[in-house]
Structure 1
Amino acid sequence: MVQKLINISANQDINLKNLASNLGLSEDELIANILSKFLQENIVLNDPLEDFLAEAEIISQIHKLPKDYNFNRQEIYDSN
């Protein structure tokens, strides 16, 4: 857990205390739950595969091989 210090208005503090009490939660638990729900609804997580493919596309545009280049796997082994 990471501890955070937040500033809220006196009115927010009263509402937070009342809501936490009514729900049987600590104020910390209520804030964490509300924040988790907000983040789940508002953060769009990217698909790692899509991120990888997008990055690969960018790299392929930057690093071009010569037009006459022909990959030969055996050359890799022969060069050692």
Structure 2
Amino acid sequence: MAADATEPRSAPFLQVVRGDPGPEEIAALVAVLTARARAARAARDVAPEPDSAWRNRARLVRAPQRPGPGTWRRSFHPG
């Protein structure tokens, strides 16, 4: 299909300002820019790692002791 002359043309995505790059150099530049864009998108999409159980300070808080038979054993042994 040929592009219709009445369609508005958008500005070029990449424009060479100085020099005369060959097709291989432009292809290499596009490959590098594409790889960086994909890496940036992948870095944004990664979910943050959950906090380690070792860093969770809630494990340091003891469960409340309930009165009853054998409470003196449970007061010393957490298990």
Q: What TM-score does the superposition give when structure 1 sets the normalisation length?
A: 0.29
For the pair shown, the structure with the greater C-alpha radius of gyration is 2
